[in-house]
Structure formats: C-alpha cells, structure tokens
Structure 1
Amino acid sequence: MKKTQFERDAVEFASRAVQFDRAGETSPAAFYYREAAQALQAALLAGSQVAGLTEKANEYLNRAEELLKQSSSSSTHQLVRPAAQQLQLDRAKFLFLQALDEDEACNSEDALELYTQAVELCLQARNSTEDRALQEKLTNVATSGLERAEALKCKIHGTPSAKSPALPKSPSSKPCPQHRAAANLGSVDENSHARAASSASGDRSSEKKLFISGSEGYSKEEIRVLRITSVINGREYVPFLATDRNDRFAFILPFNDPDGKLLLSPKQRDSFSHWVRPEDLSSDPKVIELVDCFSIRQTVVSDCSFVASLAVSALYEKRFSKKIITSIIYPQNRQGQPVYNPCGKYTVKLNINGVPRKVVIDDTLPIGKHSELLCSYSNNKNEFWVSLLEKAYMKVMGGYDFPGSNSNIDLHALTGWIPERVSIRPNDEDFNKDALFKKLLERHQRGDVLVTLATGELDEAEAERSGLVPTHAYAMLDVKEVLGRRLFLLKNPWSHLRWKGKYSERDTVSWTPDLAEALHYNPRNASMFDNGVFWIDYDSLLHFFDVAYLNWNPGLFKYTYCMHESWNAVVGPTRDVYNIGENPQYTLELGKPGCAVWILLTRHITDRDDFANNKEYIALLVYKTQGKKVYLPFDPPPHIDGARINSPHYLCKLVVPPAGDTRYTLVLSQYEKSNTIHYTLRAYATCPFQLARIGNPYKYVREEKRGAWTAETAGGCGNHPQTYGNNPVYQVCLQSPDDNNQVLVTLKGPKQYQLGFDVVAVTLDDPSSQYAFSRKSSGMYKSGFTVLELERVPAGIYNIVPSTFLPFQEGPFFLSVSSTCPFKFSRLR
C-alpha cells in the first residue's frame, strides 16, 4: 500500500476518533485513536515526508490511554430521562410519516386514522408542557395532520373540502398556522417512510437476482408443511411478504410485544434490574450509525456464534457496500436504511425453516443493576441494530437462554447465504490444508464467502496458555499470505481476550518490520487495547480450531429452486442400511453438462429442545441412475455419499464436467429414523435445471406377509439344483392390453441370510412381443433385502421363486409385488 493511502487512513481514523470522543464514546474513540496512530506509523515506514507524524501519533496514543482510564466499565450505559412530551412529539412525527405512506398509497381510511392519532397525541403533549419551543413544534405537526385529515374526510364522504378548523389554543401558545407544510415537522426527513412493496419474498427464490428454475407457486403439500413449521416454540412466524415492508409501525403508545418479554438466561436474571428502551440510553437513538465489525460486543448471552456472524456480515457490508444484514430490519426509509422508530416496533426478516419469516419485536432491552446492558450491543452507543437483531433471533429460539448454535445456522438465518461445514482434521489423510487455505484466501478476498471458526475442547491450562476460549466461535476478518507466512485475522465476539501464541501482539520475534508494514499492524499499539482482534498463523489455527463454517453467496449461481416436504416416520425402515426405496427421492435434470449444482437440505426445527439436543442425523446422497428411483443403498454405489450429521443444514456439492451426465437421482437419508421430519430441498445451479420428486407409479400392490422357508422349502439358489425346486413359488398374472407395464418385486428376510429371487415367464398374451423374456434374476444375493424393478413387461403369467443363497436356511420372508396394471397374485407352492 502506498504511503498516501496510509495518510488517508490516518485522517479517516482520526476523524472517527474525534467524533466518538466528542460524543463521550470512550471505547470506540480510544480504538480509532490507536488505529490512526498505527496508520501514521505505517506511513512513516512507507517513507511519508509529512512533518509531525511521530508527534501526532504519540498524541493519539496518549489520548487513547487517557480515555481508557476514564472509562471504568465499557459496558455501563448512562441512562437518559427524556421528557414525556418530547417522546410524544417523536411518536407523533412518526405517526404523521406513516400516515403519509398510507396517503400516497391511496389507503385513505388508514391514513385518516394515523393523521387523527398524530393530532391527538400532539394536542395531549402540548397541553401538558410549558416549553414554548416544544409547544410550537407540536402545533406544527398537529396543524399539518389536521389539514390533511380534513381533506381525507371530504374525499371519503364525497363532500366538498372546507377550510380546516383552527386548533384550540394552549395557555401559552400563539395562533397556529393554517397551512400544511412538511417542513413544519422540523428535522424529520420527508423520505423516511417505508419503501413500497415490489414483490413477495416468500417465493422459491432465495436471492432476488436468481432465476427460479421451475414453477413459482407452492403445492398444497408445501403450504401445509410451511404452515406446520411456522409455529416455533409455541409462537407463529409466518413467511415474510413484500407487504410486510409497509407494516404498521406507528402507535400512540409505545409498542409492547403481545408475545410478552423474552425469557432471560440465568446469568441475566442474576444481574437484571429492569427493561429499558433506546430512548432511555441515548438522547439521539438510531438503528444504525456506523456498520462496523469492531463495535459489536457480546455480553452474558451465550450466543458467540451469532455475534461472530454479525461481525463477518458487518465487515462484508463495509468492504463491499452491499446490505446483507442491515437490510433485514424494518421500518426502513426509501434508501433501504433501517430507521429508528420512537413507537418501539420493529420487524426482522429471518430465514427460518425454509423461507424468510416475519419476526416482530419491541425495542425493550434488559439492563443490569449497574446500568449495563445484559445483551449484545454496539460500542457506538447511539445505535441499536446489534441488540435488536439479537433480540429477534433469541425470540425465535425461545428466549435469551440460548441453547447454542453454530455460525452456519446463524448466518443462514441472517443472510440466506449457503452454509457449508468444513471439519479441520490435520491428521486425516483426506484433509487438504493447502487446498482449504487457497479457497479461503481467494474466495474471501472476492467476497464470495463469510467465514467463522470454532475451537474444540481445551483443558483449563491450555486455554489459559493459548488465550483461546474452548468450543467458542471466532469471526474471520481477514486471511493473508505475506512474505511466505499464512495468517488469519480473527475476532473474539467478547471484544476482549486474545490469542497469546505466535503472531500475537506479545510475539516480539515473529513480527518483523517488513511483516508489520505489509499487514499495517503495530504489535505495540495493539497491546495497549484489547478489542479481541488478533493475528494467528495457519498451523496454530489448525491445531486449536476444529471447524470452519463457510457461508457462500447465493449470487455465485444464476438459477435456484426449492421444495418443502415431509418424511413420515412410519414410511420405510428405521435404518436405511439395506433399503432406501422408501426414502424421499428426486430427479435432478440439468440443462447441459459442464456446470455446478449445490443442493442444500434443511430440516425444519420447531422446538427449542430439538434445537439444543438435535438427534436427527441427515444426509443427501447423489446417484448416477439417470433420475430413476434407487432401492439399494450401494447397488449402484452412490456418486456422492457423506456422513449423517445432526445439523439442520446439509450441503451437497455436485460439479459436472463438460462431458458428464445431466440426470441424477437425489436421495434423502437418516440414521435411525424415529420422527417425522419436515424439510426444504433447495438447489443452486450455474445452468437451468429441473428438480422433481420421484413419485410412485405403482397403483396395484399385493403382499405375502407370512412367507417362510421351512425344512421342506429352504432349497437355496440355483447353484443347488437338487434342492432349488423345493423353494416357494408365487404366480403373478398381469392383466393388461399392452406390453408397457412396470413391475416391482421386493423380498425381505433375516439379515443373516443372503436373499434373491427369480422371475420366470410361464405364458405370455403376446409371445411375439419384443419385450418378452424367459427368466430375470434379482442379481447378486444380498443380506436381508433385495429388489428387482422391471420395465416394459408383457402381459401374461410369471412365477416368482424366492430363495436364500444356501439351502436349509429356515426363516420368514416378506414378498411384495407392485404393478402399474391390475394383476392376480397367488402362491403355488
């Protein structure tokens, strides 16, 4: 980086530091003073000739140290007591702006109600204050509202517009103006009303820019699934629609969530004093003042993965100027920026159980006995987006007593980005550390992926020695390969407690001047202010961290499609180690080879205990079977297999070469299925594709549930001609006018036996049929279960001979015959 860039950075950091300093925000001010000093020192190392840089850097460092001494506790918040009339004025202005929204949308009756409420609130506040300046402001808002309300009354009732009546005078007021002017609202921005709805966000596209590769409407079954899984922890969270952007947010009285206050965690209850609103903590509250990953701080709520997710999302917004996290908070102005609501109601759009869902909260926050917020917050004490997003997510999860999560789940809920879990196993021969580093380096720099990392179990001594927290999530802010070194910049969500090993701020050996200059890092300055941010080398990361959570930008793909369905617990065997024919299966047909398709399986979770103790192990398998149903898990072997994991998300990545197949079969799998599950299957692709459930074409089924190989009938396979003829024989008579019939035969028996069967043609209705055959076999004998699916079977009579591989193996069996045409079924022997 050029010296002039360092100089510009120093100016920017110093400007922020002064801004926070004047506002009394000690922690961020100290941080930015040190950043400014570091940038000045980097400029000197780069050869800057600007006079006085060393003195100015020392000045900033001294001021930073002074500020930190002044602040006894960075988590303490000075309570503000705004006048009741001022709060009423703020709510009246917001009511007026919401009325303008409805007015412009031609919703006259709703607009009239809001104008009327704004006027009533202003009059009430005006009559209870002696502050003449405040009275004038209240009168201006009321006058504008009254004038428009009268005009709407005439419009609604079809009467001529009359001159608006004058407002009654308060004892100390002057005659109020009789004209309507938005400027009379004072500092309120005319454009700060919610954006007009353009399209519903509850469709099959997870990303506005992606094309939906299939029908856009939902089936009745999908609507049923989404309705069932809208109820989470006893509360309903309906899919978020475009009209929800223009929901009503303005009220005369402060909004209180009808669902009640969130349950507090034990640590919160120990310190809890009361609930406060942003207006109690700041004289100028905002939803967002400055989106910055360094300002986010976790407190006593055990949601490190969620706070780490906020940090990497905020960094992405800042680096790439794309709103992926702040865009989910409502109300918003016309620029799509969340705005502070003095009435206290907010809506947050979270991706939960397959679709974006609407989460309504009020703005009450828990505060402790020493005026410390008992939730995550921003060090920029006028902004509250961190606390509001956390509250919305905690509400869905059942309260602040968070059962724990991981950043794959949290980031997907916040952003909709595609989750991928990468286990860090340096001693595993399948783990390619060089490939992982290259992928993280290249894709993170391009903004394709958000990354967090989680430590594994550490004993107390190892945790103390390393400075790392056991089983804790860290946000990855940067990754670099510099001067032959592979380094990661991580952030502890606690905003304190850092790595103590190699390349930490304590390491005076590894930090050479060249390396410090290349990374714009000054270990000495960093050691003065612990904000939880640190550099760590790749080898140390591989030793101490267990998992990398990657969330990929859906915009990497052009096409998407999803399906919402259920898998009933009574359908199919408990374990699918022998038979997967009753598992949900899908045909994936690509428009062309030479493309990438990622398929995300998401299990819907509706109960806190299920989330905390997830016992459902799921996976998604891919077979090269031309989109046809698969019955045996390893015949043919899966093209893509994977371990069953107890996570709500399972990602399968299919990369098709230019000369590859274009039709595949997708199979859901569970380990020891015991409960009905609801799920979403969503595919992302670089080419057009079709995704469809493989149905059951067989309308006619007959079963033999009491079959058995006895001492007389256990004849074994055809390799034993002396006894083979003793096996049971069943006869099937296909009753069809054509030859295009399908038949499915399945045989189940003791798992300790190898099973098989033959299908032998006896007589055909049309012996000259081109599809005629004399004998078909189920193939290699298999343990406990085997199957044969026949296509284009001519009408006629066939015998089925089930057998074990060896003779004299006695035991029960279950024979099932299914067909697309009517048939007769009987036992001959």
Structure 2
Amino acid sequence: MPPPDGYHHNSNEDDVNSPNSPLNFLDQNYQELHQNCLTENTLYNDELFPPDNSSIGLFDDLPPQVDMSQVVWKRPAELVSDPNLIVDGVSRFDYAQGSVLGNCWFLAAIGALTFEKDIIKQVMPAEQSFTKDYAGIFHFRFWRFGKWVDVVIDDHLPTIDDELLFVCSKTSNEFWPALLEKAYAKVCGSYADLHAGFISEALMDFTGGTHMYYTLNTAPADLWKIMECAFKSKTLIGCGSNSATTPEENELLHGIVAEHAYTVTGVFEVMSEENAVQLVRLLNPWGEEEWRGDWSDGSPAWDTVCEEVRKICHEVLNNGEFWMSMEDFTNIFENIDICCLCPDFLDDSAECHWTSKRHFGRWNAMITAGGDINETETFWINPQFRVKIDELNEECASGQRPENILVSLIQNHEKRNRNSQENFNIGFYVFEIPFEASGNKPKYEKSKRQVFVRVLH
C-alpha cells in the first residue's frame, strides 16, 4: 500500500492489464521504437536510461579494485563477435553475480524463474535476437504493484576492461542475464538501486503471483511437504540465510554465506540406510561457494543411498548448487519465500481451486492510520476488508487445510528510485465474524464463514 498521504480505497480493483497487454513503462512503445530504428537503419539509444553514471547510480561502498572512472558502455557486438540473447536455452547455471552489486536477492529470483518456461516467456518476450531485425533495442516485462509494464532498453552495458561490471554470463556470448538485469535496474531507477533487497520483491515482479513467507524456526511441521507440492505447480521459491556476527558463527555455517539469498531448486526424499531423509537443493547466485556439511557434494552421506538415487541427485561440481537435509536447512536458513500464480497446491488436491481478489487502499495519517490492536480508541479506523468463504466441495473440505484464506500485503512504491523509498511498518489482523453478526441468517452454518482483514499502519 502507498504511504499515508491521503485516503483512497477501491474495494475490488483487479488488474485490467496482463503480460500480453502491459503498460508502456515511461511511455516508451517497443514496437514503435524498434520499427523506427529499422526504418532509419540505426541502433537504438535510450535517452531515459542513458549509458552514463546516472544509470549506474551512487554506491556507498565499492571493492578497491573497481574504479568507476574506467567504466565504458559497450554493446555486446563490441565485446564478442557473435552475441546471442540465449545460448542452448535459459538455465540457472548461465550466470554468476558480479562483485560490485549486492543484488543476490534479484539473481536468486532469476534462478527460480528459469524453471518456469511459461513465466520466462512473459518476462522475456520471444522474437528478440542479435540477428533478425536487430536494432540495439530489447524489452522485458515486470509486474509492478498491480500492473504489468513493458520496459524498453538499449543494449549498451557497463564494462571495465571489456568485462561486464555487474552480472556476467558463464558463456561469454550469452547476454540475456545482463539485459534482464539492466531492464530491472531501469525500473528501479539505477543499478545502485538494486543493492540489497528481499527475494520476495523480484519473485512477485516476475509473476504478479501470491507470496507466502515462512520464518523457518517457527515453520509448520509439514513445510517440506508444502515445498514438495509447490514444486509440482508454477511456483518460484527462494530463501535467506541467517546472520553471523562473529568468525566462529560464520564457520558454523559450513560454506553458507551469512545474510545471503539463495534459490530453492528442488526437494527430494532419499532412503539412507533404511531411514527416510528429506533433502532440499539450493543454488548460490554467486555461481560458486557451496555447503560443506552433510549431503554436500563431497559428503560421505551419499554413499548410504542406492546408486540410482546418486545418479539422479549427486553431482560434484563447483556450480553453486548443493543438497542439504531439511533439518540443516531450517537451522541455518532464516526464512523461505514461495511465490505462486495460484495457491491451489496448498490443498494437495486437483479438486481444490482458489479464487483471489486484490484490494487497493491508502492510509491518511490523521484519518485512517489507527495503529495496532492496543490502540483501542483508534484501531477501528484502519482500512478493513470483508472476505466471504463459500461452502467447500467435499474433496476440499476433507483436506488437510480446509477453508484456507491467504492474505498478502504489499507497499506500493511511489518513487521510482527504489532505495529512496521508505518502507513502512505495516501489518494486518484477521478476525472471524460470528455468523449472527454478519447481517445474514441468524443460524450459524459451519460450511460458510466470513472474516475481517484489518490492515494497520
């Protein structure tokens, strides 16, 4: 929700656009600009995100070996003889995080994105290349605070000594990671505005989906099962590691980077000496630096499973991806983010289908910001929404989680430069409304429930 500078509320305002009919970001129309370049036989130059320091932005701290005065913006054709947007498909192993920009949260989300080909096509429209109708112009699509936007960029990329300054591809002539990162930097204001963040931001911007967040030390006992079901649907999953304040604490992480974003790339259950072990597979967006504990690439634990499982799961490669037990995962990692197009998988049944509604609201500091539940005189003035849960069919009602409601809250950034936007402390309460107080029949029917969702600032 936007910050409190006036109140506006639409009770049921769903998106009017889609990935196939996005809004033009900064009023730049890709088709028109592309055609103009082809007609005039010129390469596109983006005046709204130019190849200069304004697009890089200001960094508080830089590695000592990086001299920004040495940055030269070059097109891919100036770096390699045969540039390609994609080489042999899109993979989580195509790229590695650069040493300048701390955007592991964004790159970890990209790792999750590579598993969902349909979503990739939404974010990175087809029929773009460095050969057919090439004009130095590309476009990408993101979901931003309720609206899909189409973002146009030119293909100038910042380099030092002919090496890309930020994300780099492991295949030298593949440029989709660098161009995707540039488009997202444009949306957020600059490359520097990508420094530090939460993986949930990028997961939602790639999908426009529903976000679920679990703190691992208080996660439900069946979280691994939830993750297993999620991987069978169009779901993107990432996580963040715990902090470490001393060298001793850091050593206990056994190769896990403290306060770092990772992609969750798989779950698998193995039989280890007749004991079932639930495993989680993770990817470090650095493209290296892996877990060194049990079930890591070099762990003797793999000798306790059958050869067939080892062929499926076990690889000894320094590519940043590794397995660990669910127990170690919940101890060493702090949280997990699950972003899905639809949370049907929560019921683990093909018969259960969720419906969704989106509400837009605004706080006014004096009128609608009523504080938390302890503010008894003003709490009632917070924005509130009523949700009716209709009768469930027999299949859903008998499931593990009948009558689910999932509430996700997002703050709308009104400033383009992401790091200049203050994040407010916001939250919500969910209350069940007694049926006799809901204005319906006085008789209480268990199959139908209504709840209030009260949002507070």
Map of 1:625-636 to 2, 5 A cutoff?
625=433
Q: Given that residues 629 and 665 in structure 1 are in contact (C-alpha distance below 8 angstroms), is that contact kept between their aligned partners in structure 2?
A: no
Q: Given that residues 403 and 608 in structure 1 are in contact (C-alpha distance below 8 angstroms), is that contact kept between their aligned partners in structure 2?
A: no
For the residues of structure 1 that align with 2:249 and 2:256, how far apart are their CA atoms? 8
Partner of 1:75: none
Correspondence for 1:281 among 79, 100, 104? 79
Q: Given that residues 587 and 628 in structure 1 are in contact (C-alpha distance below 8 angstroms), is that contact kept between their aligned partners in structure 2?
A: no
For the residues of structure 2 that align with 1:293 and 1:398, how far apart are their CA atoms? 26
Correspondence for 2:430 among 594, 599, 622? 622
Amino acid at match of 2:448: D
For the residues of structure 2 that align with 1:255 and 1:207, how far apart are their CA atoms? 26
Q: Given that residues 73 and 156 in structure 2 are in contact (C-alpha distance below 8 angstroms), is that contact kept between their aligned partners in structure 1?
A: yes
Map of 1:130-169 to 2, 5 A cutoff?
none
Q: Report SS of the residue matched to 2:204.
A: helix
Partner of 1:249: 34
Partner of 1:303: 103
Q: Report SS of the residue matched to 1:542.
A: helix
Superposed CA deviations along residues 251-282 of structure 1, whole A, max 9, x for unmatched, are 13221211223125453852643111121233
Q: Report SS of the residue matched to 1:624.
A: strand
Q: CA 1:490 to 1:356, structure 2 compared with 1: closer, same or farther past 3 Å?
A: same
Task: Report deviation, 1:208.
Answer: 7.9
Correspondence for 1:384 among 142, 160, 175? 175
Structure 1 residue 324 and structure 2 residue 119: aligned?
yes
Amino acid at match of 1:588: V
Q: Given that residues 403 and 612 in structure 1 are in contact (C-alpha distance below 8 angstroms), is that contact kept between their aligned partners in structure 2?
A: no
Q: Given that residues 298 and 495 in structure 1 are in contact (C-alpha distance below 8 angstroms), is that contact kept between their aligned partners in structure 2?
A: yes
Superposed CA deviations along residues 780-816 of structure 1, whole A, max 9, x for unmatched, are xxxxxxxxxxxxxxxxxxxxxxxxxxxxxxxxxxxxx
Instruction: Give unmatched runs, 5+ long, in structure 2.
Output: 1-12, 345-352, 398-402, 439-444
Percentage of pairs with the same residue: 23
Higher relative contact order (CA 8 A, sep 6+): 2
Amino acid at match of 2:144: I
Task: Report deviation, 1:581.
Answer: 2.5
Partner of 1:452: 238
Task: Report deviation, 1:203.
Answer: 6.2
Q: CA 1:453 to 1:515, structure 2 compared with 1: closer, same or farther past 3 Å?
A: farther
Q: Given that residues 105 and 262 in structure 2 are in contact (C-alpha distance below 8 angstroms), is that contact kept between their aligned partners in structure 1?
A: yes
Structure 1 residue 263 and structure 2 residue 62: aligned?
no
Map of 1:114-513 to 2, 5 A cutoff?
204=15, 237=25, 246-250=31-35, 251=37, 252-259=41-48, 260-261=50-51, 262-264=55-57, 265=59, 267=62, 270=67, 272-289=70-87, 290-300=89-99, 301-317=101-117, 323-330=118-125, 332-333=126-127, 338-340=128-130, 342-369=134-161, 371-401=162-192, 402-425=194-217, 428=218, 431-432=219-220, 434-444=221-231, 446-458=232-244, 459-464=246-251, 466-483=254-271, 484-508=276-300, 510-512=301-303
Q: Given that residues 627 and 665 in structure 1 are in contact (C-alpha distance below 8 angstroms), is that contact kept between their aligned partners in structure 2?
A: no
For the residues of structure 2 that align with 1:622 and 1:421, how far apart are their CA atoms? 16
Partner of 1:532: 320
Amino acid at match of 2:79: L
Q: Report SS of the residue matched to 2:426.
A: strand
Q: Given that residues 390 and 449 in structure 2 are in contact (C-alpha distance below 8 angstroms), is that contact kept between their aligned partners in structure 1?
A: yes
Partner of 1:561: 357
For the residues of structure 2 that align with 1:357 and 1:461, how far apart are their CA atoms? 46
Amino acid at match of 1:616: F
Task: Report deviation, 1:548.
Answer: 0.7
Q: CA 1:569 to 1:407, structure 2 compared with 1: closer, same or farther past 3 Å?
A: same
Task: Report deviation, 1:597.
Answer: 4.2
Q: CA 1:404 to 1:660, structure 2 compared with 1: closer, same or farther past 3 Å?
A: farther
Deviates more, 1:306-315 or 1:563-572: 563-572
Structure 1 residue 661 and structure 2 residue 448: aligned?
yes
Task: Report deviation, 1:245.
Answer: 6.7
Q: Given that residues 210 and 343 in structure 2 are in contact (C-alpha distance below 8 angstroms), is that contact kept between their aligned partners in structure 1?
A: no
Q: Given that residues 388 and 451 in structure 2 are in contact (C-alpha distance below 8 angstroms), is that contact kept between their aligned partners in structure 1?
A: yes
Map of 1:21-40 to 2, 5 A cutoff?
none
For the residues of structure 1 that align with 2:278 and 2:174, how far apart are their CA atoms? 36
Instruction: Give unmatched runs, 5+ long, in structure 1.
Output: 1-201, 210-229, 231-235, 318-322, 631-657, 671-829
Correspondence for 1:598 among 403, 406, 412? 406
Q: CA 1:348 to 1:629, structure 2 compared with 1: closer, same or farther past 3 Å?
A: farther
Superposed CA deviations along residues 198-253 of structure 1, whole A, max 9, x for unmatched, are xxxx96268789xxxxxxxxxxxxxxxxxxxx9xxxxx94699xxx5744314132
Q: CA 1:551 to 1:502, structure 2 compared with 1: closer, same or farther past 3 Å?
A: same
Q: Report SS of the residue matched to 1:404.
A: coil
Q: Report SS of the residue matched to 2:268.
A: strand
For the residues of structure 2 that align with 1:536 and 1:325, how far apart are their CA atoms? 28
Q: Report SS of the residue matched to 1:562.
A: coil
Q: CA 1:246 to 1:610, structure 2 compared with 1: closer, same or farther past 3 Å?
A: closer
Q: Given that residues 270 and 305 in structure 2 are in contact (C-alpha distance below 8 angstroms), is that contact kept between their aligned partners in structure 1?
A: no
Q: Given that residues 587 and 627 in structure 1 are in contact (C-alpha distance below 8 angstroms), is that contact kept between their aligned partners in structure 2?
A: no
Q: CA RMSD in A?
A: 3.3
Map of 1:3-22 to 2, 5 A cutoff?
none
Task: Report deviation, 1:507.
Answer: 2.1
For the residues of structure 1 that align with 2:265 and 2:323, how far apart are their CA atoms? 10
Task: Report deviation, 1:616.
Answer: 1.1
What TM-score, normalized to structure 1? 0.44
Q: CA 1:205 to 1:438, structure 2 compared with 1: closer, same or farther past 3 Å?
A: farther
Structure 1 residue 571 and structure 2 residue 367: aligned?
yes
Q: CA 1:589 to 1:316, structure 2 compared with 1: closer, same or farther past 3 Å?
A: same
The aligned length equals: 394
For the residues of structure 1 that align with 2:434 and 2:139, how far apart are their CA atoms? 45
Q: CA 1:574 to 1:327, structure 2 compared with 1: closer, same or farther past 3 Å?
A: closer
Partner of 1:585: 384
Q: CA 1:546 to 1:582, structure 2 compared with 1: closer, same or farther past 3 Å?
A: same
For the residues of structure 2 that align with 1:342 and 1:206, how far apart are their CA atoms? 28
What TM-score, normalized to structure 2? 0.76
Q: Report SS of the residue matched to 1:549.
A: strand
Q: Given that residues 30 and 152 in structure 2 are in contact (C-alpha distance below 8 angstroms), is that contact kept between their aligned partners in structure 1?
A: no
Q: CA 1:610 to 1:395, structure 2 compared with 1: closer, same or farther past 3 Å?
A: closer
Q: CA 1:267 to 1:608, structure 2 compared with 1: closer, same or farther past 3 Å?
A: farther
Q: Given that residues 206 and 416 in structure 1 are in contact (C-alpha distance below 8 angstroms), is that contact kept between their aligned partners in structure 2?
A: no
Task: Report deviation, 1:538.
Answer: 1.6
Task: Report deviation, 1:570.
Answer: 2.0
Task: Report deviation, 1:522.
Answer: 8.2
Q: Given that residues 409 and 419 in structure 1 are in contact (C-alpha distance below 8 angstroms), is that contact kept between their aligned partners in structure 2?
A: no
Q: CA 1:207 to 1:419, structure 2 compared with 1: closer, same or farther past 3 Å?
A: farther
For the residues of structure 2 that align with 1:367 and 1:418, how far apart are their CA atoms? 37
For the residues of structure 2 that align with 1:387 and 1:629, how far apart are their CA atoms? 56
Amino acid at match of 2:34: F
Task: Report deviation, 1:611.
Answer: 4.7
Q: Given that residues 303 and 405 in structure 1 are in contact (C-alpha distance below 8 angstroms), is that contact kept between their aligned partners in structure 2?
A: yes
For the residues of structure 2 that align with 1:362 and 1:628, how far apart are their CA atoms? 61
Superposed CA deviations along residues 353-400 of structure 1, whole A, max 9, x for unmatched, are 22112322211111122x321121332333222111111112222222
Q: Report SS of the residue matched to 1:598.
A: coil
Partner of 1:733: none
For the residues of structure 1 that align with 2:247 and 2:333, how far apart are their CA atoms? 16
Task: Report deviation, 1:467.
Answer: 1.0
Q: CA 1:516 to 1:421, structure 2 compared with 1: closer, same or farther past 3 Å?
A: farther
Q: Given that residues 329 and 346 in structure 1 are in contact (C-alpha distance below 8 angstroms), is that contact kept between their aligned partners in structure 2?
A: no
